[in-house]
Structure 1
Amino acid sequence: MKTIQTMALVLKTCNMNDNDKLVTFFSPQYGRLTAVGKGVRSHKHKDFAALQPFCFSNVTLTCKQGGLYTVSSTEVADSFFALRSDVLKVSFAAYYMDVIADIAQEIVGDEEYFSFVLNTLYLTGKAGENTPGADIVSELKKLKMVFELRTACVMGVMPEIEHCLFCGKDKNLTFFACDDGGAVCSDCVGRYNGKEKLPVSVTPTDIKIIEYIIKSDSRSVFKFKISDEFLNNVCKIAEKYLISQTETYYKSLEYLHKMLTDIG
């Protein structure tokens, strides 16, 4: 019988039958873990609360040779309750969980990134508390933008923003090629003529914002102000860049887009 104990974040759950759930965790020590929660669909079960999506808990898992892990015990560290009170916040968080589930095995042992994820969820829950209601969408978009760019960096694909991808010059970097991984100068952008995936136009301010996000330490990475004028373009770049690197279609992202469109 193998037993592991770890702090872990619940990424998603899936009902197996009337009583049990299949739970996917993200652990800094083990990456992605999947375990059966016996009887946890019941609200009366002792582990019911700890095995909800976005919940951060101390979990003990056991496994017989060749079998799936089973949840033996849990202790909630943070349920991120504030996040669950708003369907839009939940939609952003669900997208983050899908991305992490996709890349978790690439980042085993990265305690700093794990802490960054927890901080992202915390700030998602707090979004709008100190700003007028109309600003909550911008605040959530900013968090998403930071999450996407930092996640790409943790995957080992930090974008090149100081020099043109083709000629190496550091002047006139007016485009960003998400699929190729960085900035393109005005002299070299013609290489994309006739191609399906074109670079995105960027300003020097866009480049500076991206640079701040990818180079700041995890404690200060969220501490910057950005106007909607630049937020929307950098958001578009961050999303396209991460998706191009993971090469994955996320249904949760499609749903998030629909929600944002409905909000207007």
Structure 2
Amino acid sequence: MERLTVKGLVLRETPVGDNDKLLTLLTAERGKMTVSGRGVRSLRSRHMASTQQFCYASYTLVKSKSIYPYISDSELIESFFGLRGNIERLAFASYVCEVADHVSVEENGDVDLLRLVLNTLYAASAGKKQIALIKAAFELRCVAVLGMCPDLSCCSVCGVKEAQLFYLDIFEGNLVCPDCMERRPSAEKDADGDGSSYQPRGGYQRPVSIVTPEILNAMRYAIGSDIAKFLSFTLTDDALISFGDIAERYLLHQLGCSFRTLEFYKSLSVHD
């Protein structure tokens, strides 16, 4: 029987029978993996602590004739214990893991995605940063890791790099300056007149978001900095609200889906 050792984060756990589990792991070497935890739900199991959701551990796996390899040994590395004492942190961590589960691929290692998720959970567990800021930065960095990064370098029409504000085209993932918005042949404000959408060539409403210099700098930092430092910035309260809205809208559009855990997180109506 083949044995292999991997370090993985438990994204999801599914009870099987009385004492077993199926675990969905995110690993650097093999991407997403489904493994069997035999007897790990038993209070007497030595693997109980390392087979909970959000746990990061080293697992020795045995490939047998069964569909999934099973855990023969494990050593807990990090439990992110701080997540479990706060409902907002717990709900957010569940959302992070659901996103990671959705975007990760089996047998396709992704070191950057794993590092991003681990750093995000660590920050949420530590409780030193606002969850709203962590969430938005995670969403933007996630799309960047997946190769869906918005072009934040300059106006996509005229090339200007600095302006009092830009519009971010959520569909196209690029910036448009106010002057170019006004010069577009079919450009129109939305019904509310707040510039949250415009009418491009083609005749349909395309969503955009207003991006101030403060928000633009935060977006560029969250996307372009080292993953270990991608949360090392602050925003004013008003800017953080807009930053969060932009990041969430962009992620959901790029992935083309919704997340049950996100809806639960938002239903809590908890704000730092």
Within a 5 Å distance, the mapping from 1:38-53 to structure 2 comes to 38-53=38-53
The farther-off stretch of 104-113 and 79-88 is 104-113
Residue number in structure 2 paired with 1:185: 177
Residue number in structure 2 paired with 1:132: none
Higher normalized helix content (fraction of residues): 1
Mapped contact 2:32–2:106 kept (Cα < 8 A): no
**CA distance in structure 1 between the partners assigned to 2:178 and 2:64 by the alignment:** 60
Alignment counterpart, residue 148 of structure 2, candidates 147, 157, 162: 157
Residue number in structure 1 paired with 2:194: none
SS at match of 2:155: coil
**CA distance in structure 1 between the partners assigned to 2:72 and 2:145 by the alignment:** 31
- TM value normalised by structure 1: 0.88
| Alpha-carbon distance, 1:186 to partner | 2.1
Alignment counterpart, residue 207 of structure 1, candidates 216, 230, 233: 216
Within a 5 Å distance, the mapping from 1:1-264 to structure 2 comes to 1-65=1-65, 67-105=67-105, 108-128=108-128, 139-170=130-161, 172=163, 174-189=166-181, 190=187, 192-193=198-199, 195-260=204-269
Gaps of 5+ in 1: 129-135
Aligned-CA RMSD value: 2.2
What amino acid maps onto 2:169 in structure 1?
A
What amino acid maps onto 1:158 in structure 2?
C
**CA distance in structure 2 between the partners assigned to 1:13 and 1:51 by the alignment:** 8
Which whole-Å deviations, capped at 9, do the CAs of 1:165-197 have from their partners, x for residues lacking one?
345443545211222112122244428325344
Residue number in structure 2 paired with 1:133: none
SS at match of 1:229: helix
- TM value normalised by structure 2: 0.85
Number of equivalenced pairs: 254
Mapped contact 1:106–1:155 kept (Cα < 8 A): no
Mapped contact 1:164–1:170 kept (Cα < 8 A): yes
**CA distance in structure 2 between the partners assigned to 1:11 and 1:144 by the alignment:** 17
**CA distance in structure 2 between the partners assigned to 1:154 and 1:257 by the alignment:** 24
What amino acid maps onto 1:218 in structure 2?
I
**CA distance in structure 2 between the partners assigned to 1:260 and 1:29 by the alignment:** 38
**CA distance in structure 1 between the partners assigned to 2:112 and 2:22 by the alignment:** 27
Gaps of 5+ in 2: 182-186, 189-197
| Alpha-carbon distance, 1:217 to partner | 1.5
